[in-house]
Structure 1
Amino acid sequence: MSDLIWTRGVEWLAAAAPDPKECKREWDRGDGVALLAAGRFWDVLTVPDQLGLFTLDLLWRPSLPVPGPTLMDTAAHRVGFFLPPDPDSRWIGAGLRHAGKGSWVAVPPPYRSARFLEWLIPPDGTGALHAPATLELALRQANGTLSVLEPLCGQ
């Protein structure tokens, strides 16, 4: 990615912090992770990593727009999809966690990983997010694939 895209991604993410300047300083020193408020510019839907990675693979299709920002927590074994904020959304399913207004999300800068957090698709600063309906369809398809594979793999 170009420096301009990184810069725009940093500015876009940091805007969700109570103090964007302090957020950027925190990314540049210390452990490189900032707590950002969900629900204003974006919500985050996290799912178990295997489901999330299958889903993300399904979203990378030429017929679909480029997927939105996607974050992986390797310690918690979860993948987070950044969605438009929606206080009325009701994501229901085993292992689904929705972070909206009133929630905080630990986020590394878009230009590098920090601790156990890494961007699978970093924000580009345009404000592009995952489309909820497209994400839901991909999650359903990925879940169906996993339910078929689990008995075959002995899990």
Structure 2
Amino acid sequence: METGRETGRISDSQGPSGACDVVTVPTRQGLEAVDILRRGAAEAVGPVLHDDGRDTLGFLVPPGTAAAWDVPGSTCTGTEERGAPVVPRTPARGPGWLLPPEETDPATDPAVLRAALGEAARLIEAADSCC
């Protein structure tokens, strides 16, 4: 993956449009999922955006994932029509990289992400109902 200097546009050699879809989840669940993915296999997690202003994480997944995404508590936005997500290279506020593209695989496998998000939701529910 490369990040364009002028726009901060994420590009990827996958798919005809060269863009990834983005699965967005609340930060707490996303951080749990990142931990789960990294414990399982570090190569299982692709780039992850952190939007502090919206308190969300965005996982880059292969193009076309949005068409079949149905995980409660998350959304998947297709990028084929609107182009790749635009991210400032050094954001003062708003989206920034938790896991930058140059340090990860091109995209997170949607099936692996689905399982990790489910496990994260169960862990959070157990922690919140305890004590």
Q: Distance in 1 between matches of 2:88 and 2:110?
A: 23
Larger Rg: 1
- Going from structure 1 to structure 2, the CA distance change for 1:107 and 1:75 (only over 3 Å counts) comes to same
C-alpha RMSD over aligned residues: 2.8
Structure-2 residue corresponding to 1:102: 81
User: Match for 1:131 among 84, 109, 112?
Assistant: 109
Conserved 8 A contact 1:45-1:98: yes
Q: What residue is the counterpart of 1:70 in the other structure?
A: 48
Give the 3-state SS of the residue equivalent to 2:126 in structure 1.
helix
Q: Give the aligned residue type for 2:25.
A: V
Q: How many residues are matched?
A: 124
Alpha-carbon deviation of 1:102? 2.6
Percent of aligned positions with the same letter in both sequences? 31
| Structure 2 segments unaligned to the other structure (5+ residues) | none
Asked if 1:117 is matched to 2:98, the reply is no
Cα distance in 2 between the residues matched to 1:35 and 1:56: 20
Matched, 1:89 2:79: no
Distance 1:88 1:45 in 2: 8
Mapped to 1, the partners of 2:105 and 2:129 lie a distance apart of: 40
> Structure 1 unaligned runs (5+)?
1-8, 15-23, 28-33
Partner of 2:6: 25
TM-score, normalised with respect to structure 2: 0.77
Q: Does the C-alpha gap of structure 1 residues 138 and 87 become closer, same or farther in structure 2, counting only changes over 3 Å?
A: closer
Do 2:62 and 2:109's aligned partners in 1 also have CA atoms closer than 8 Å?
Answer: yes
